Amino acid sequence: MILLFAPFVSGAQSVGNFVDDESDLYASTKQVNQFFRRFNGEEDFKGERLYPEDKDYRNPELRKTYFSNLFNNDNGLISAGLKTEFINHSLDKKDPVFLEFLGGDWFAEVTTTFTYQGKDQFLTLFLQLEKDTVGSKWVISQVYFEPFAKVFADQDSLRKTGQKFLHPMSHELDFMNLIRVFDNKTSLEQYLAWKYRPDYLTLFVYEFKKGNLAFKTINKVKFHFFQVDGWYFELSDFNRKGYNTGWLISSLAKVSKDEKELLLKYIYHE
């Protein structure tokens, strides 16, 4: 695999004049875009794009070669057997799987630092690609922020003995018992609709517009993929020496439909 990435110095024009072994740079999955192309077999070993009319376009042998270096091989968490099963599924002769940049089921998780109430805090933004009337763009779809989460009670634990409620005949008294709802900050959620969930994104927008939140920097980026039917994988950036670097699969799992919902709740901290 490594020999395939012997230095390819393109003929007449290239950026550099530096003489050094560049095979590790060629081997590296340098962009998420490159991960897509390699997964799909849509580029050659020089990193040049292949088109449908090219003979190696989406060639299964080409894809198989790439797959061996698309996982974080330092990770003992992904077993060889699971990897093989995933690869075989993706390269299925009758129904091969290809990733889609636009319209596919994947999203970004970005850990950032914001200043909130005078303190630097981690804030997680979830982004997804959205088609616009022309072209596409990344949009913030959800937020997780621990200072917000701490304020809200765990909705799932509210239905228990001793819970507070507005009795079913409250309407006959013009809901005068609402006075008890608002005499205690901690129990307010007990009086909300059962399916209520706090919307951190709206809170984020509100606090930002009020000037209580200020962006500082980006800390980490990773991506969650549910595009391969029955499978989940996470994509992270590995900045290290060697040939197994760049954007690589850092986590892999088989997921049923129900498991997918649970996993999403976990990712979104719901």
Partner 1 sequence: MKIRLLIISVVLLTLSSGLIAQDNLSKQRKAAIDSLALEKVRDLSKYISIIGSKETPFSEANRVIERTLELFNDDAQMGVSSIYREEIKYYPVRKYLERLMALNYDKINITWYNIEYISDLELQPDGRYVGVITIYQRFEGTTEDGMVYKDTTKKDITVYVEKKQTQISGRLIDFWDVLLGDIRVAETEK
| Interface residue list for partner 1 (CB under 8 A) | 7-10, 13-18, 20, 22, 24-26, 30-31, 33-34, 47, 49, 51, 53, 101-102, 113, 132-137, 217-220, 239-241
Instruction: In angstroms, give the least distance from the CB of 217 to partner 1.
Output: 4
Instruction: In angstroms, give the least distance from the CB of 153 to partner 1.
Output: 33
Distance CA 240, CA 255 (A): 30
- H or E element, residue 36: helix 32-40
Distance CA 88, CA 131 (A): 31
Q: Beta partners for 144?
A: 124
70 in Cβ contact with 99 (< 8 Å): no
Nearer to partner 1, 13 or 161 (CB): 13
Instruction: In angstroms, give the least distance from the CB of 137 to partner 1.
Output: 6
218 in Cβ contact with 112 (< 8 Å): yes
116 in Cβ contact with 212 (< 8 Å): yes
Nearer to partner 1, 10 or 202 (CB): 10
Instruction: In angstroms, give the least distance from the CB of 13 to partner 1.
Output: 7
Nearer to partner 1, 102 or 193 (CB): 102
Instruction: In angstroms, give the least distance from the CB of 47 to partner 1.
Output: 5
Distance CA 114, CA 95 (A): 45
Name the token pair of 215. Answer: 């962006």
Nearer to partner 1, 161 or 239 (CB): 239
- H or E element, residue 116: strand 106-116
Q: Are strands 106-116 and 231-238 parallel, antiparallel or unpaired?
A: unpaired
Nearer to partner 1, 197 or 240 (CB): 240
Nearer to partner 1, 47 or 147 (CB): 47
Residue 112 backbone zone (phi > 0: left; psi -120 to 50: alpha; other: beta):
beta
Instruction: In angstroms, give the least distance from the CB of 218 to partner 1.
Output: 5
- Name the DSSP class of 128: E
